[in-house]
């Protein structure tokens, strides 16, 4: 679609917003290296120990060269990179850095959507200082480095979808700007898997339709095939052109907050599981308190020995931050699973419907 004068027309939604996406580089691993400079230059794996059945939280870029990735079994990581240094996570340190970077974001705008401890979207369309989006992103990178000693990558684009892709493009310390006029070509050249919303299953399904790169979805025949997929297909038609009209949601701090533990051997004894649940609840309570958050919903996750997982959740009468209350509700939820009758490989607790201390009641109703 070209305009009469030959200049390509730009979809109107690409003129509405200026979004910055910030993502810290190798977050947990970089903090470990910062706090122990002897680790610099070495392959670092943060997560379970190499001979445990835990998983990798993250790996330094040196370890990634060997193929080590987040969520991989630690035993596999140890085989791929035997010289790697394995470190347990120190969540309190990561939460503290997360707080510091959010403080920096807030000096530029209050329109912030934190996605995880190390990642956030900022809507800087009308930022109070009247700065260009590029200037905001550069300023944040410099201040984050100065305040925390860590690098982050930034993406600047007309929407969240493209800003996230952009921040990931030139890690570490990457800086990528995608102007509205270039969005379509930029996204078109990427594989569909780069879109936040296309996972391995959708990737395969799209490949069957002949869609590997985003631009493969631009012709009318394939767009018809996609629209037959319903709402997700409609989203794909737009996303493959770099169009996304979603707003930066400022009214939640974090979607959920949790901990989980993969056991060295599968556990049948419910009393042992209760004790594990108590320590998970304590850790969750501590993490929430550090972030001055309270939670209303509690979720328990159980993975049985055959890797089948179930979750059970319920709401507390009001948003609170109490390890004891999380534990008590957790015990009730655990008894709604087959724990005690089937061996359990992993136990997790997470809390959601989070509110800041001082805010009103939490959201959501639930069964108990």
Given Mg ion, ligand TTP, none, residue 71, with its beta carbon under 5 to 8 Å by kind, binds ligand TTP
Q: Is 86 in the site for ligand TTP (CB under 6 A)?
A: no
Q: Does 121 engage in binding with ligand TTP (CB under 6 A)?
A: no
- Rule CB under 6 A: is residue 62 a binding residue for ligand TTP? no
Q: Is 200 in the site for ligand TTP (CB under 6 A)?
A: no
Q: Which DSSP symbol is given to 215?
A: G
279 in contact with ligand TTP (CB under 6 A): no
Tokens representing residue 159 in the block: 């929407």
Nearest to 298 by CA among 333, 335, 324, 336: 333
Q: Which residue is nearest to Mg ion (CB)?
A: 23
Among 49, 52, 70, 262, binds ligand TTP (CB under 6 A): 70
Q: Which residue has the tokens 């305040």?
A: 147
Q: Could you tell which of Mg ion, ligand TTP, none binds residue 28, using a CB distance below 5 to 8 A set by kind?
A: ligand TTP
- Is 119 tagged catalytic? yes
Residues 6 or more apart whose Cβ sits within 8 Å of residue 66: 43, 80, 81, 84
**Between 242 and 261, how does the x/- string for binding to Mg ion read (CB under 5 A)?**
--------------------
By CB under 5 A, the residues from 159 to 178 that bind Mg ion are none
**Measured in Å, how far apart are the chain's first and last C-alpha atoms?**
55
DSSP codes joined into one string, 101-112: HHHHHHTT-S-E
Q: Does 262 bind ligand TTP (CB under 6 A)?
A: no
**Binding site partner of 171, from ligand TTP, Mg ion, none, Cβ cut-off 5-8 A by kind:** ligand TTP
Residues 110-149 that bind Mg ion (CB under 5 A): 118
Candidates 18-26, 140-148, 235-243, 254-262 — which segment interacts with ligand TTP by CB under 6 A?
18-26
Nearest CB to Mg ion, comparing residues 23 and 244: 23
The closest of 125, 203, 128, 207 to 163, measured between CA atoms, is 125
Largest CA distance in the chain: 75
Among the listed residues 274, 260, 326, the one whose alpha carbon sits nearest the alpha carbon of residue 297: 326
Nearer to ligand TTP, 8 or 41 (CB): 41
Closest to ligand TTP by CB, 28 or 86: 28
Nearest distance in Å: CB 143, Mg ion: 17
DSSP SS3 for 155: strand
Q: Is the peptide bond before 227 cis (omega within 30 degrees of 0)?
A: no
- For 74, the token pair is 């630690």
Indicate which single residue of 23, 113, 123, 276 sits in contact with ligand TTP (rule: CB under 6 A): 23
The answer to whether 196 and 183 have CB atoms below 8 angstroms apart is no
Q: Say whether residue 118 binds ligand TTP (CB under 6 A).
A: yes
Question: Per the residue annotation, which of 62, 113, 119, 276 is the catalytic one?
Answer: 119
Q: How far is the CB of 44 from ligand TTP (least distance, A)?
A: 11
Q: Are 246 and 196 in contact (CB under 8 A)?
A: no
For 357, list phi and psi in degrees, rounded to 5. -55, 135
> Residue 22: in which H helix or E strand, if any?
strand 19-24
| Residue 144 touches ligand TTP, criterion: CB under 6 A | no
- How far apart CA 181 and CA 291 sit, in angstroms, is 40
Does 57 sit near ligand TTP (CB under 6 A)? yes
CB 214 to ligand TTP: min, Å: 21
Interface of this chain with ligand TTP, residues 151 to 180, rule: CB under 6 A: 171
Show Cβ contacts of residue 83 under 8 Å, excluding neighbours closer than 6 positions: 42, 43
Q: By C-alpha distance, which of 212, 246, 239 is closest to 19?
A: 246
Q: Which two three-digit tokens encode residue 243?
A: 């169009």
The site for Mg ion (CB under 5 A) is made up of 23-24, 27, 118
The site for ligand TTP (CB under 6 A) is made up of 23-28, 57-58, 70-71, 116, 118-119, 171
Annotated active-site positions, please? 119
């Amino acid at each position: 679609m070209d305009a009469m004068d030959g200049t390509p027309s730009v979809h109107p939604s690409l003129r509405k917003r200026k979004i910055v996406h910030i993502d810290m580089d190798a977050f947990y691993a970089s903090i470990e290296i910062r706090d122990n400079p002897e680790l610099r230059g070495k392959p670092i794996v943060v997560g379970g120990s190499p001979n445990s059945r835990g998983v990798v939280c993250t790996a330094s870029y040196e370890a990634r060269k060997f193929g080590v990735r987040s969520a991989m079994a630690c035993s596999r990581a140890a085989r791929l990179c035997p010289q790697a240094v394995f470190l347990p996570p120190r969540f309190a340190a990561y939460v503290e850095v997360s707080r510091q970077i959010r403080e920096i974001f807030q000096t530029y705008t209050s329109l912030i959507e934190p996605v995880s401890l190390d990642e956030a979207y900022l809507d800087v369309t009308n930022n109070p200082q009247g700065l260009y989006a590029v200037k905001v992103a550069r300023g944040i990178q410099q201040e984050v480095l100065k305040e925390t000693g860590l690098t982050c990558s930034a993406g600047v684009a007309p929407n969240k979808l493209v800003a996230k892709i952009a921040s990931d493009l030139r890690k570490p310390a990457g800086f990528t700007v995608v102007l509205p006029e270039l969005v379509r070509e930029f996204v078109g050249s990427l594989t569909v898997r780069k879109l936040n919303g296309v996972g391995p299953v959708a990737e395969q399904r799209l490949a069957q339709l002949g869609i590997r790169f985003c631009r493969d979805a631009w012709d009318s025949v394939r767009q018809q095939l996609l629209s037959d997929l319903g709402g997700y297909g409609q989203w794909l038609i737009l996303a493959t052109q770099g169009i996304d009209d979603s707003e930066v949601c400022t009214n939640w701090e974090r979607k959920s907050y949790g901990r989980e533990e993969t056991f060295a051997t599968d556990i049948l004894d419910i009393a042992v599981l209760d004790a594990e649940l108590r320590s998970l609840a304590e850790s969750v309570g501590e993490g929430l308190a550090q972030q001055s958050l309270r939670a209303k919903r509690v979720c328990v996750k159980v993975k049985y020995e055959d890797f089948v997982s179930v979750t059970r959740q319920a709401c507390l009468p009001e948003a609170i931050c109490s390890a004891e209350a999380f534990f008590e509700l957790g015990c009730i939820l655990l008894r709604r699973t087959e724990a005690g009758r089937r061996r359990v490989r992993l136990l997790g607790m997470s809390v959601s419907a989070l509110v800041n201390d001082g805010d009103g009641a939490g959201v959501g109703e639930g069964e108990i």
